[in-house]
């Protein structure tokens, strides 16, 4: 289904085509070619960027940074970041954690694994959180828990919808049982926002697993995913070790979850903007609020 012209073709005649802005800054500025992990094609970095990091040959949706995604998706200049100054600490004196934090802060340019703030999409204001695959594969610790909790609390106060992008390898072991508690912490804030009538749309991207899947990734009113995204509680390797069997092809991919009733929709990256814009539009009330807030 996916091919070179997915950016021009509407999936059904009722859904208008919405072209996203290509990413501004290259993720790999020093490389001319990038290899697609899925089909092994060598792709021109500039061309790939124009294609929103979706392989023009096979349609594979590559991982992109939180900043790239915000730039591609939300109205130009609309993003105002929240809580950019929160830093994790090594409160359990976990061997190697300070070095790992320093390494990933340097590599990703982020202080932790999620970027949050206020933005708009087609003029609809929303509170957003976008997890970053480049920071310890979005492993969830105290900073991610606190920042996302604040997103839902502020959204409830300011009567805003929440749009969240998840990507996570699971909980941050280096923060011990406190990292586990973040699942309950964020869930509490999601529930309060929801009970006030707030709208929450989640987009699950590759990979979303562990504690994030078992909490806020699965708690949205509308649950979408990018094509081919791995979405799991226990990752494929853990399951193969537990049951001593090879897993069938496509197991735990977005298409599998859709078929089993755990997703509302799979949306290709080029159609995310228009899909979110329309969903927000459906929930907009006469007084300018969203949902029942």
Q: Which residues bind another protein (CB under 8 A)?
A: 85-96, 98, 101-102, 105, 141-143, 145-146, 149, 171, 173-185, 187-192, 194-195, 210-211, 213-219, 231-234, 238-239, 242-243, 245, 247, 251-252, 260-262
- 193 versus 269: smaller Cβ distance to Zn ion: 269
Residue 59, φ and ψ in degrees, nearest 5: 80, 5
For residue 217, the partner it binds in Zn ion, another protein, none, with Cβ less than 5 to 8 A by kind, is another protein
Give least dist CB 131 to another protein, A: 16
Handedness of CA 278, 82, 97, 62 (dihedral sign): positive
For residue 41 the two structure tokens come to 């094609």
For residue 38, the partner it binds in Zn ion, another protein, none, with Cβ less than 5 to 8 A by kind, is Zn ion
Residue 284, φ and ψ in degrees, nearest 5: -75, 130
- 90 versus 255: smaller Cβ distance to another protein: 90
Give least dist CB 291 to another protein, A: 16
Tell me if 172 sits within 8 A of 208, measured CB to CB.
Answer: no
Between CA 217 and CA 154 the distance in angstroms is 19
Considering only residues 2 to 41 of the shown chain, the ones binding Zn ion according to CB under 5 A are 36, 38-39
For residue 67 the two structure tokens come to 């900043």
Tell me if 167 sits within 8 A of 133, measured CB to CB.
Answer: yes
Give least dist CB 176 to another protein, A: 4
For residue 58, the partner it binds in Zn ion, another protein, none, with Cβ less than 5 to 8 A by kind, is Zn ion
- 36 versus 266: smaller Cβ distance to Zn ion: 36
Neighbours of 10 (CB within 10 A): 12
Between CA 72 and CA 66 the distance in angstroms is 10
- 219 versus 255: smaller Cβ distance to another protein: 219
Residue of 70, 85, 82 whose CA lies nearest to 24: 70
**What residues have CB less than 8 Å from 13, skipping those under 6 apart?**
none
Give least dist CB 2 to Zn ion, A: 10
- 243 versus 249: smaller Cβ distance to Zn ion: 249
For residue 270, the partner it binds in another protein, Zn ion, none, with Cβ less than 5 to 8 A by kind, is none
- 113 versus 228: smaller Cβ distance to Zn ion: 228
Tell me if 55 sits within 8 A of 44, measured CB to CB.
Answer: no
- Give the H or E element holding residue 239: helix 236-243
For residue 187, the partner it binds in Zn ion, another protein, none, with Cβ less than 5 to 8 A by kind, is another protein
Give least dist CB 37 to Zn ion, A: 8
Look-up of token digits 């197991």: 251
- 58 versus 234: smaller Cβ distance to Zn ion: 58
Considering only residues 43 to 102 of the shown chain, the ones binding Zn ion according to CB under 5 A are 55, 57-58, 60
Look-up of token digits 């699950």: 204
């Amino acid at each position: 289904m996916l091919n070179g012209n997915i950016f021009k073709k509407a999936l059904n005649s009722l859904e208008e085509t919405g072209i996203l802005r290509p990413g501004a800054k290259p993720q790999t500025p020093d490389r001319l070619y990038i290899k697609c992990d899925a089909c092994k094609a060598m792709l021109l970095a500039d061309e790939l960027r124009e294609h929103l990091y979706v392989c023009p040959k096979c349609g594979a949706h590559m991982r992109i940074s939180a900043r790239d995604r915000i730039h591609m998706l939300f109205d130009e200049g609309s993003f105002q970041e929240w809580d950019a100054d929160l830093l994790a600490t090594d409160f359990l004196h976990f061997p190697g954690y300070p070095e790992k934090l320093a390494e990933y802060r340097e590599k990703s340019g982020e202080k932790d694994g999620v970027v949050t703030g206020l933005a708009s999409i087609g003029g609809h204001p929303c509170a957003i959180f976008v997890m970053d695959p480049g920071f310890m594969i979005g492993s969830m610790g105290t900073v991610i828990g606190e920042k996302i909790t604040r997103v839902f609390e502020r959204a409830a106060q300011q009567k805003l919808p929440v749009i969240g992008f998840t990507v996570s390898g699971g909980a941050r072991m280096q923060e011990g049982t406190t990292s586990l508690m973040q699942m309950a912490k964020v869930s509490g804030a999601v529930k309060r926002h929801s009970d006030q009538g707030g709208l929450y749309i989640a987009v699950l991207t590759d990979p979303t697993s562990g504690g994030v899947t078992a909490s806020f990734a699965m708690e949205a009113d509308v649950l979408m995913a990018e094509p081919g995204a791995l979405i799991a509680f226990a990752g494929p390797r853990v399951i193969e070790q537990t049951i001593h069997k090879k897993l069938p092809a496509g197991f735990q991919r977005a298409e599998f979850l859709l078929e089993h009733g755990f997703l509302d929709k799979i949306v290709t990256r080029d159609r995310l903007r228009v899909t979110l814009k329309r969903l927000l539009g459906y929930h907009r009330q006469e007084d300018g609020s969203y949902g029942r807030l």
